[in-house]
Chains A and B, each alone.
Chain A
């Protein structure tokens, strides 16, 4: 008698968006099945994993990161080392230091960092802005010009600054952009509609529908992604068919479980281990819920998640 299989393949599919140029360029999306359901139909492009560095390079208080980057003196060295992490498909530069509430680095300082990085690596580049939308508008404008021809992804534009970012990075400089909304399918769709009305083609932008570290309201992430993928595939909603791009590390490296030192809570054990497990758990859950790309900081996380993707897809 056996088991009657009912493969769930959809006629609609997720948009395919290319980041980077040349041999190492990557494609996000393109699948016509639910996340990681490779048993229903072949998944056009496996989800991608990015290695993240910041404008300062990396967090020197994390011993295992310091060990990995040992001997790196310039930001170019660090970028090369990060891009060489086994399993990394792209390199993300997080310009968190540009935040006016933080180090408030100038656009010129950030541009210097980014051009050094861009000169050092040939993998696809993703630029992650700071928490301040206005500053990001300025930053992205300058960097999109600087990185012309490299097909870079700018993360993210929000409701506050999508017009400027879409017009400059997206239309004027032909880069890719990421539309960010806060764990709500309607907000995600609305921003996608607004961006498409600016004249951006469906294959030129991706979306970050919001994220959280495991344990920090992750149910909203799951349900938003579940519903977005369902609308995109089952209902053929063209305004939700953008690939999902999730900067996981920015969330997981700022929660208590990752920050607290071993001296403060001895029973929790090594901080490095906690940082990796939190990053790995959150990334795996994001991928299972629908992310087409995740960004991670620790080489062990990058290796584990890329290995898991290879095993599943």
Chain B
């Protein structure tokens, strides 16, 4: 919540010394409120006042960095509750729950899910290592998890075990999820000593709030809030209440990323975990821990996440290029459309369903839909011709038939002029008409 000019004025020395370049302290305060000059321009501002100001102008939710190198991820830093208000910034991370007994059985399946979708690597980013009582075995588990090049979450409220694990893999910036009302001082000391993020949980929101406040007072602000409750209902309520308190009700104490552990509230129910992970991807889970992640679960979940965390002001685009479908070769017919991801996926899906081999040509249309791109001059006879020349299509593909979207049927004449030897065919207006059209065409 931004401070008003008058509030800032109260913190100034009120001497009108002009050293900041402004005629009066009031004028200076007004400019600071607008963000026109930094508060440091005033040489007489007390440290206390500066701290108060930076507190007031700090983002409502902290950005916490975990992992290192390839496995580095940012969590939190959100400023809105709904993506249409601005955008979500830090995508949800998915983790898998592992223990000494099940790690070897799970790890191959975890590593198998690793693919790319519209320029984004989709894989299990975190491993939640559960402490079950044996310190030596726990250290072994944590070492194995660390070797898997994933961010490790130590799911452990035992300080001795946590220290042993931290000692074993101290180089990674992991998450120590284990502080609660009774052990937070000890756990916080450990987290600070090893420079790791501390996860805090509580029996209810009141206890959680008090524990976070106590940790902040002790100087630890590198925290994650474990919102997992006793059951599904409580967990959902916690996730929403914590995020809403931070972003809407200016409760900075809850201004941290969250972690939701589905193992604790839906153990063994795969479909339920998929459902809940989808809910928590939309509603405020920064990290979601599941019992496993099969392809069947990953395909919808990662797709959903990619959708929800796109910036509403920037359309999702696919790379321009040649996309051969249904076993197409150089003799297969060419079909073109725009690079707007939604159009691409819809058209691609229908074309695949038709079963007709073809080369889908995607040119750079600014990430707009067909009609918008056409209206903006980004999808025209000129741009398609340029793409065909630049990508050397005439040497790569022998077919001289190009199918264009029905909505830009008007381009047919100009394209035939631009591309001598090519036959331009107009497809239906809607993607839903593509299957019968392609089958008839064949």
- Determine, out of B271-279, B356-364, B374-382, the stretch whose residues face the partner at the interface: B271-279
Closest to A300 in B: B271
Q: Which residue of B lies closest to A281 (CB)?
A: B300
- Tally of contacts, chain A with chain B, CB under 8 A: 178
Whether a CB of chain B sits under 8 angstroms from the CB of A144 is no
Sample of 16 further A-B pairs with CB below 8 A, known A3-B241, A280-B300: A2-B210, A3-B208, A6-B244, A6-B249, A213-B300, A215-B299, A218-B307, A256-B348, A257-B299, A274-B295, A277-B297, A281-B278, A284-B279, A288-B282, A308-B272, A311-B231
Check if B278 sits within 8 Å of A214, measured CB to CB.
yes
Q: Are B349 and A254 in contact (CB under 8 A)?
A: yes
0/1 string, A85-122, CB within 8 A of B gives 1: 00000000000000001000000000000000000000
Shortest distance from the beta carbon of B348 to any chain A beta carbon, whole Å: 8
Interface of A is mostly: helix
Q: Is A148 interfacial (CB 8 A cutoff)?
A: no
Chain A, residue nearest B269 (CB)? A304
Out of B282, B295, B346, name the residue touching A269 (CB < 8 Å): B295
Give chain A residues whose Cβ lies under 8 Å from the Cβ of B312. Answer: 219, 223
A201 adjacent to chain B (CB < 8 Å): no
Could you list some 30 contacts between A and B, CB below 8 A? A1-B209, A1-B213, A3-B206, A5-B241, A6-B245, A38-B233, A131-B432, A213-B303, A214-B300, A215-B302, A215-B307, A215-B345, A217-B307, A217-B342, A217-B345, A218-B307, A219-B83, A223-B83, A227-B84, A230-B82, A257-B299, A257-B300, A277-B274, A277-B294, A277-B296, A278-B300, A308-B272, A311-B231, A311-B233, A312-B232
Given A39-B241, A304-B271, A312-B233, the answer on whether A281 and B83 have CB atoms closer than 8 Å is no
Q: Are B276 and A268 in contact (CB under 8 A)?
A: no
B209 contacts A218, C-beta separation under 8 Å: no
Q: In A270-288, which residues have CB < 8 Å from any B CB?
A: 270, 273-274, 276-278, 280-285, 287-288
Q: Are B210 and A1 in contact (CB under 8 A)?
A: yes
A37 at the interface (CB under 8 A from B): yes
- Give the interface size bracket for A toward B: 35 or more
Contact across chains for A37 and B303 when beta carbons are under 8 A apart: no
Judge whether B283 is part of the interface by a CB distance below 8 angstroms.
Answer: yes
Contacts of B303 in A (CB 8 A): 213-216, 218, 257
Q: B1 in the interface, Cβ–Cβ < 8 Å?
A: no
- Given A230-B82, A257-B299, is A4 in contact with B279 using a C-beta cutoff of 8 Å? no
Residues of A within 8 A of B352 (CB): 256
The residues of B that contact A244 with a CB separation of less than 8 Å are: none
Other-chain contact of B436, A101, A274, A276 (Cβ < 8 Å): A101
Known A215-B307, A274-B295, A312-B236; contact A284-B275, beta-carbon cutoff 8 A: yes
Q: Is the CB of A288 within 8 A of B342?
A: no
Nearest Cβ on chain A to B391's Cβ, whole angstroms: 25
Is A268 in contact with B432, judged by CB distance below 8 angstroms?
Answer: no
Q: Is B11 an interface residue (CB 8 A)?
A: no
**Residue in chain B with minimal CB distance to A298:** B271
For residue A308, which residue of chain B has the nearest CB? B275
On whether A218 and B304 interact (CB within 8 A), knowing A223-B312, A305-B275, the answer reads: yes
Given contacts A2-B210, A39-B237, A216-B342, contact A281 B275 (CB under 8 A): yes
Chain A residues positioned under 8 Å from B64 (CB to CB): none
State whether A222 touches B296 (Cβ < 8 A): no
Chain A min CB distance to B311 (Å): 10
Give the chain B neighbours of A259 by CB distance below 8 A.
353
Taken residue by residue from 195 to 222, chain B's Cβ proximity to chain A (1 for < 8 Å, 0 otherwise) reads as 0000000000110111001000000000
Compute how far the CA of A288 lies from the CA of B239 in the bound complex, rounded to whole angstroms: 13
Say yes or no: A281 contacts B301, CB within 8 Å: yes
- Give Cα distance in the complex from A101 to B431, angstroms: 13
Which residues on the A side are within 8 Å of B210 (C-beta)? 1-2
- Complex CA gap A217/B349 in Å reads 13
Q: Which of A270, A282, A300, A308 contacts B300 (CB 8 A)?
A: A282
Q: Nearest residue in A to B343 (C-beta to C-beta)?
A: A217
